[in-house]
Amino acid sequence: MKGEEWYQADDVAESYEDKRFSRGGRIIDRREKRAVLDALGPVEDKRALEIACGTGRFTVMLAERGADIVGLDISEPMLQQGREKARSAGVTDHLEWMRGDAARLPFPDDHFEVVFAMRFFHLADTPAAFLEEMTRVSRDRVFFDTFNRFSTRSLYTWALPMGSRLYSSREVDRLLSDTGLELDRAAHDWVFPYGFYRKIPNGIASGVRWLDNATGGTPLGRGLASVSYWSATV
């Protein structure tokens, strides 16, 4: 997985959310959380798994809504940030944190009702293997996001030393088909890449976001979207 050692550093975990979800990044955080809630629907009393849960942004959010959820990540420092967040939110009884490898999930078949991963597939060196594991342990729904190949994200990725794996819609369709998943819902967003939003104040970012949404609502906008959210049934 790309950036594996980088994500496991203590200082990266401690500053992760401040660097990504402050300033204009707050808009990204809100949109991603809405994408997860829209895809998963009501989660009360459902058994859920988040892969690559990081600092627990979504794990804690779903626990607050009554899900019984496991957050799995390869980084112990990231998991520690999640534990602290869960204690502050008072939801530790709905949560289990586990360090593990997404390619070898330590759960039996059909163990969860919903399995999802955010900000993960752009780092995956073997996306088919990861998606197969997600499908194996889910008995209802699988949800994930991708960065799109034919978008402004390609320029942003080129400039980054770690880079990102980019996907075409055809490639995602093939991944879903090969793992026996049926696409239920797809949403495409973000004409301007995430990195742009993080560099500007939240007030200015709100105006840019309005323009982003206006462009995204046109036929041209679908082709320019840099992020896609994929929800599929098992």
Asked if residue 201 lies in contact with residue 120, where contact means CB atoms within 8 angstroms, the answer is: no
Asked if residue 155 lies in contact with residue 129, where contact means CB atoms within 8 angstroms, the answer is: no
Residue 210 within any structural domain of the chain: no
Indicate the SS3 state at residue 185: strand
Residue with tokens 């707050």: 26
How many domains would you assign to the chain?
Answer: 1
Residue 178 within any structural domain of the chain: yes
- For residues 94 and 65, give the distance between their C-alpha atoms in angstroms, rounded to a whole number: 10
User: CB count, 10 Å around CB of 185?
Assistant: 13
Indicate the SS3 state at residue 229: strand
Residue 193 within any structural domain of the chain: no
Residue 70 within any structural domain of the chain: yes
**Considering only CA atoms, which of 122, 107, 154, 128 is closest in space to residue 52?**
122
Residue 197 within any structural domain of the chain: no
Residue 126 within any structural domain of the chain: yes
Q: Return the C-alpha torsion angle 65, 67, 68, 70, nearest 10.
A: -90
User: Residue 80: which CATH number?
Assistant: 3.40.50.150
**Considering only CA atoms, which of 195, 182, 179, 181 is closest in space to residue 227?**
195
Domain extent at residue 37: 4-146+162-188+229-233
Which amino acid, residue 22?
S
Residue 95 within any structural domain of the chain: yes
Q: Which uninterrupted H or E stretch holds 158?
A: helix 153-159
- For residues 100 and 34, give the distance between their C-alpha atoms in angstroms, rounded to a whole number: 26
Q: Which residues pair with 143 in a beta bridge?
A: 116, 231
Asked if residue 92 lies in contact with residue 24, where contact means CB atoms within 8 angstroms, the answer is: no
Residue 216 within any structural domain of the chain: no
User: CB count, 10 Å around CB of 90?
Assistant: 11
Going residue by residue through the chain, which has 234 residues, state the pLDDT in tens, using 9 for 90 and above.
555 565 566 666 677 788 888 889 999 999 999 999 999 999 999 999 999 999 999 999 999 999 999 999 999 999 999 999 999 999 999 999 999 999 999 999 999 999 999 999 998 889 999 999 999 999 999 999 999 888 766 655 555 545 678 999 999 999 999 999 999 999 999 998 888 898 899 999 999 999 999 988 888 877 889 999 999 999
Does the global pTM surpass 0.85? Answer: yes
